[in-house]
Amino acid sequence: MKVVPSRSSEWVRPVTSQKPASAIIEIDRVSQVFQTSARKDHLALSNISLTVDEGAFVSILGPSGCGKSTLLYIVGGFVSPTSGVAKIKGQAITGPGPDRGPVFQEFALFPWKTVLGNVMYGPRQQGVRASEAEAQSRSLIEMVGLKGYENFYPKELSGGMKQRVALARTLAYHPEVLLMDEPFGALDAHTRTRLQNDLLNIWERDRKTVLFVTHSVDEAVFLSDKVVMMSKSPGRIRQVIDIDLPRPRRRNELLLDPRYQKYVVDIERMFDESDEVGASS
Amino acid sequence: MMSPAAVLKRAAPVLACIGLLAIWQAAALLLKNDSFPTAIEAIRAIPDILGDKEALINILASLRRMAMGFGIAVLFSIPLGLLMGRSRAVAAFFNPLLMVIYPVPKAALMPIIMLWLGVGDITKTLVIFLGVSLPVIYHSFEGAKAVEEKMLWSGAAMGLSSLQRLVRIVLPAALPEILTGCRTGLVLALITMITSEMIARQSGAGNILFNALDMGQYDTVFAMIIIVGAMGICLDAIFERIRARLVRWSEPQFDMPLSFS
Ligand SMILES: Nc1ncnc2c1ncn2[C@@H]1O[C@H](COP(=O)(O)OP(=O)(O)OP(=O)(O)O)[C@@H](O)[C@H]1O
Ligand SMILES: [Mg+2]
């Protein structure tokens, strides 16, 4: 019989303690209850506390339905938590803002805009001159591998292509924090690897804070400074693992690194254990 | 070059018209009834009507009222429908009112409106307005309700205010549905226009039609029916072209420009 640690003490800070100067996102005992038609009150998130340091790359791993998206929406300011507070730079989050850029699981592209129109939308809204916004957007579109598709409408793109447009659209307005909800989920292995590398390059250059939801353990370990493991029903944080691997990370080097392999194996084993716990309870 | 199939597709409405007229012609010749002129007689009466200055002024007055009623209705109904679709409170406020108005034939309200506002342009335009408003409100409402929430969230994250989101996200996203409502509204505008002139007989295309009926000028009656029908078909065809162009991005099959017709 294994005892699954429900919390890791190192990163769960009591509210009374002083916050570190570098914390950009602080989630403090956040719970989210949904009223659903089937189950009356559904506890999607239970007492979540998490601190994300400025410039950190933090991944959230967890089974489907454990509340990963919901947690991201709360940080985005799209959903206000039933209890607890989420803060950005010390300020309680009351709504969305251009400092936090979401990349939604559902893409949510503007279907009446072309690829270029979608990517330019944010910069234009922020008052960037049209010519400048266009130039930047074109290079972003090229970066995500969609050169030549600038004038296509979302309807004419595949799922993976839409996902890349969504990523470019958010990167285009330079949010300080990226909130990415399985942004590479719909991609083939090759494009996925390429975009992981591109994202890592951007991140190593700009040091944006990234909150990154994924199902892939490899991806989480490869990209992150910290991996937050969640469990389901109710959605809780099971464990936070610091990924102590050197940067800049190069994929081909890392794959051979025994430390990387150990992280992946350990995290995967923890998942299997949580499955057993879930099945027996 | 157009393929034979494309030629046939374009010619189909014309062929349908010719077929209809042929059936009419045959039926009229068989029945030999004074109140049922042949298609050819009716068509011959058309130049007389369109050549008559008085009649032309009447028809143009009808069209002007129709355009006014339709235009005002669209300008009023789209914002209202969109607001209803995005705000529970606005929907709860207007829904009961619209539910009551919806099934009432707008022409049935005319006697009351005439009592208050007279038999002039205002009354008729108002009835057209009422006729057009409901389908446009309804479709705008449905369109706005269906807008994907994440799309609005994306806009909010980019810094769009709620009004900006309504104008720059909800409106374009709901446009296909809105234009479907407008197309229904356009046909209803034509119907209410003629009906209103039938009730308040003073001027207009409907007035010509029913005066001719009173005087037993049946070829004029049928000629007017052809004219009004043709107006409806033309307006609808023009509108459909504009609609298709505006919402090209949403059509299920995005047809590539194979010909420039
Ligand atoms: N608007 C809502 N109303 C009711 N229940 C909701 C709502 N949004 C989410 N839920 C419930 O909350 C739980 C968490 O949902 P969430 O979308 O955050 O999961 P997730 O971890 O992102 O899953 P996935 O990996 O499949 O995307 C689910 O059980 C879901 O049914
Ligand atoms: Mg999710």
Around ligand 1, the residues with Cβ closer than 6 Å are A 34, 36, 42, 44, 62, 64-70, 105
- In single-letter form, the type of residue at position A36 comes to T
Which one of A70, A124, A155, A157 makes the best mutation probe of the B interface by having the most chain B beta carbons within 10 Å?
A155
> Does B89 touch chain A if contact means CB atoms closer than 8 Å?
no
Please say if the pLDDT value at position A281 is more than 80. no
Residues with CB under 5 A from ligand 2 (ion): A 69
pLDDT band at A272 (very low <50, low <70, confident <90, very high): confident
pLDDT of residue B256: 52
Fill in the DSSP letter of residue A175.
Answer: -
Ligand 2 center to residue A151 CA distance, Å? 30
Ligand 1 center to residue B24 CA distance, Å? 63
**Residue A230 alpha carbon, nearest atom of ligand 1:** 21
Please say if the pLDDT value at position A160 is more than 90. no
Please, which residues have CB within 8 angstroms of residue A190's CB and are 6 or more apart in sequence? none
pLDDT of residue A277: 53
Q: What average pLDDT does the segment A55-78 reach?
A: 93
**Per the structure block, which two tokens stand in for B58?**
């009447």
B157 and A76 within 8 Å at the Cβ level: the answer is: yes
Q: How far lies B121's CA from each of B63, B86, B180, B204, B211, in Å?
A: 12, 35, 27, 10, 19
pLDDT of residue A206: 81
pLDDT of residue B253: 60
User: Residue A62: helix, strand or coil by DSSP?
Assistant: coil
For chain A, domain boundaries: 111-174
Question: What is the pTM assigned to this prediction?
Answer: 0.85
pLDDT of residue A77: 95
Q: How far lies A265's CA from each of A60, A162, A270, B134, in Å?
A: 17, 32, 9, 62
Choice between B5 and A157, residue whose per-residue pLDDT is larger: A157
Residue tagged 């990163």 (tokens): A11
pLDDT along chain B (261 residues), means of 10: 77 86 89 85 88 89 94 96 94 90 82 86 91 94 95 95 95 96 94 88 84 88 91 92 92 55 42
pLDDT band at A204 (very low <50, low <70, confident <90, very high): confident
For chain B, domain boundaries: 38-248
Q: What average pLDDT does the segment A204-208 reach?
A: 85
pLDDT of residue B87: 92
Looking at beta carbons, which residues of chain B come within 8 Å of A169?
A: 154
Query: Which CATH superfamily hosts domain B38-248?
Result: MetI-like (1.10.3720.10)
ipTM attached to this prediction: 0.86
Q: Which residue out of A46, A70, A106, A238 has the highest number of ligand 1 atoms within 8 Å of its CB and is therefore the one to mutate?
A: A70
User: Do B70 and B186 meet the contact criterion of CB atoms below 8 Å apart?
Assistant: yes
